[in-house]
Each structure stands twice: as structure tokens, then as C-alpha cells.
Amino acid sequence: MTATDAPAVPTSTIYGDSTTDPLLMYGPIVADRLPGGTEPRPYEHITVVPAGTTIGAEVSGLRLGADLNDATLAELRRALLEWKVLFFRDQHISRADHRAFAALWGELEQHPFFKYTQPGQTDVDVTTLAKGMASAGVENSWHNDVTWSATPSFGAVLRAVELPASGGDTLWTDTAAAYDTLPAAFRERIDGLVAEHDWMQAFGTSMPSEAVEILRPHLPAVQHPLVRVIPETGRRVLFACQVFTTRVLGVPQEESDEILSVIYRHVQRPEFQVRLRWRPDTVAMWDNRTCQHYAASDYFPQKRVMDRISIVGDVPVGIGD
């Protein structure tokens, strides 16, 4: 039985006293993998094996690069929408292949901060995340990428370059499943709200002050819907993360803190997660709009080197926009 086939679970068997804690849940927490009314279809040009219940699938039957035919690329696009994150094993590819594959999905993003926070960058569109004795991994907090921008990343393609002997897994959590399984009253409460996102509380604290002064006028705080709608599917997802979201607008600070706390706790449930144990020549691609990720920092002082390419996104759309 798949998530889409699962029978509805009576609310009374899931929720405790939601007047004191809207997340007081127990028993089955089962979300649909696909948007309502969508029937699962087979893949004809790629092989897709689920790695999680609603999020994460391993894809085989292709080599990543620029020479994918239209039919294969169309199925990859569908797989990404359906599974949110895709894993590709045994991809012995070059940086040029990595870039060419990412470019099939859209314009490549140029990140303005890593030249300050992650020295040694050689390309504007490929971020090398080199962690080890000199630079410990600090990405172990659940987040979407680049929500501090008016057009947050559509997605990212991450390639393993050098791995520690153990540790360094990456986890993703499904923010569509998280939204769907919130109590109805809480969903109604947040559906039309807007939140502020800012890079200052993250990158701004680890950059030279003169760099912050130069960049700040060009990169002010931005506002995004707290519940984002994915145009291709109509799926609603939670769009707030601990790293970049500063507050919910239009409500008192205490209420903002409460709302964000509930969202952060909920998206961290293991029921919504998939975990990737990296191997040499592994590549992961994810839809940054529909999931958050977390890089486990349990390998210090071993070395872990990853190349990441991000794809430019668009302006997030909220309910009723």
C-alpha cells in the first residue's frame, strides 16, 4: 500500500488536546504523496525507486549531463514534482556535466555570500562546500535555500566530491506533507499570512562588516507567503525556515513566535523525512520550493567536499494570489 492508497485516519485517533498544543499527535501521520485527484503513472524512460513514503526517490537508467532527450527530461521533471528530491547513484561526471545538467532546469544562480563565508570558490555558479578541520559544517539546521531573495531558488543539484569515512548524511523533509497534516484550524489560521525573510541573521553574522555594508542596500529583507502554492500542481507547502525567516507580519510578536514554533516543530517530524547516505559519485537534486534540508555535521574533523549548483526560481505565490 502506498501513501496515496492509505485509508483516511479518523482525526480523533491522531490529535490530543489541540487547545493546549496543536501538534499533540499520536498514531498514524499519513499524508498523500501526490496532490488530491492525481493518479500515479508509470515511468517509461527512467527507473524510479521510492526512498521514503512521500519524499525521496532513487532514479537510474541515465547519465547526468546536457544530452538528455526531451522525453527523459519530461519524466525527470514529473518525478521531481512527485518526489521532491531525487537521488542518482554511480554518476561519474565532471563539473562541466554537473553544470550542463543543472542548466537544463533554468538559469544558474550566483550566490553573493559564499566568497566571504566559504573561501576558495573558483566559479560564480558552482559553490564548493569544503568542510573539515579548517571549516566545520554549519548547515545542520532545517532550511530552504535563498528564501532571503525575492526569487528563492527553484532547486539545487548537489554532487559528492570527497566524503568522510562515516557521517555527513543529508536529510530532507516534505513541507507539503507537513502542511496537509496540520490541524485544520491551524491551517486556516496561517493560510493568508506573510512572513519576512532576511539573510542578516545567518550570513550577516559570519561576514566582514564592510561586505555587509556593501551588500545590504541591494539585498533588503523580503516578504513571502507563509503558505506557498506550487503553480504546476496547486500543492500548498509551508514556506518558513529557522535560518532565514524572522517574523510573521500583521500579528503581535508573541503570536508570530508561536506560529513559527509550531511550523518548525512540525516540519521536523521523521514521518515527513528521507535521509541520504552519500557514496562516491552520488548526486542529489531537490525542489527547494517543496522541501527543506539538513546536512548532518557529525564527521568533524574529517573532510567533506560537495559541489552545489542552484537554479534561479520565481516569486512565491500564496493562496488567492
Give catalytic residue positions. 143, 145, 293, 308
> How many other CB atoms are there within 10 angstroms of residue 248's CB atom?
22
From the list 97, 94, 85, the residue with the least C-alpha distance to 59 is 85
> Are residues 65 and 93 in contact, defined by beta-carbon separation less than 8 angstroms?
yes
Distance between CA atoms of residues 62 and 113, nearest Å? 34
Cis peptide before 301 (omega within 30 of 0): yes
Residue 60 C-alpha cell reads as: 537510474
From the list 33, 34, 35, 27, the residue with the least C-alpha distance to 10 is 27
> How many other CB atoms are there within 10 angstroms of residue 165's CB atom?
8
Q: In what order do the strands lie in the sheet with 291-295?
A: 273-276, 170-174, 291-295
